[in-house]
Amino acid sequence: MRLTMMALAASLAGCAAMPIALPPEIVARTERIELSGVGFGETGRFELGRSSGTFSRRSYGVQRADPLSKSRQTRAFGHVAFNVSGSDFRGAVSGHCRHLEGDVGTSRLQVTDLPFRYRCRFSRAGQPMDAELLLDAAPLPTGLLLAESRAGEMRMNGRVFHLQAIHHSPAFAVRSGDPLGYRIGNIGAVDVNASPRTIFAPVEGPDREAVLLAGLALSLLWTS
């Protein structure tokens, strides 16, 4: 499991992590909803505002070595499943997600040959919804070099919300290597570095459920 140094430090200190950098217009137009009960466990129950649910997740790592070339291939993969219901959702909703990434190389040099990808599908009362989340590795310019970030889309009922990883906090001068949170279009965001994790969702309207589902799926993502 990957933890940012800020998240680890906050966990060890028993205090909340520093907030992510969010545009003031998103903060002004949204409600701040805490997601409690997730932590770093593989299974459990969570509370999300006026709603609640259960989750399970696993992350695996497999490595194959070639004794002749001294190269090795690494694969990291896993899944997330959750169920949530309450006044913020139109019936009981389930999410099923999978992630995968890999690299190849030697002990001195590793090259990504299978870029990170995360896919989620959703259902309501056991029936598939017109909704899916797609998140992929994305290059991030950092001066003369490129670092890895993540970007994607949350699609629901014909609407598409672009997902963009957030690597900055007002409390720190340098970017984080792992995402601290994600911007969800121009209507919301999720802070996956906070303790508890926090979703910034529209106060009302049809997009509120889409932001909450995306925030849940991103908050529960667990990689090796």
Per-residue pLDDT of the chain (224 residues; tens, 9 = 90+): 343 334 434 433 334 456 788 989 999 999 999 999 998 889 999 999 999 999 999 999 888 887 776 788 889 999 999 999 999 999 999 999 999 999 888 777 878 889 999 999 999 999 999 999 999 999 876 554 567 899 999 999 999 999 999 998 887 777 788 899 999 999 999 999 888 999 999 999 989 999 999 999 999 998 76
Q: Note the pLDDT tens digit of each residue in 28-76.
A: 999 999 999 998 889 999 999 999 999 999 999 888 887 776 788 889 9
pLDDT of residue 197: 95
Q: Which of 134, 57, 129, 117 is nearest to 91 (CA)?
A: 129
Q: Which residues, in sequence order, are CB contacts of 155 under 8 Å at separation 6+?
A: 130, 131, 132, 133, 134, 161
Element (H, E) at 130: strand 127-142
Q: How many CB atoms lie within 10 A of CB 177?
A: 12
Half-sphere exposure of 153 (CA within 13 A, CB side): 7
Listed by start position, the domains of the chain span: 5-217
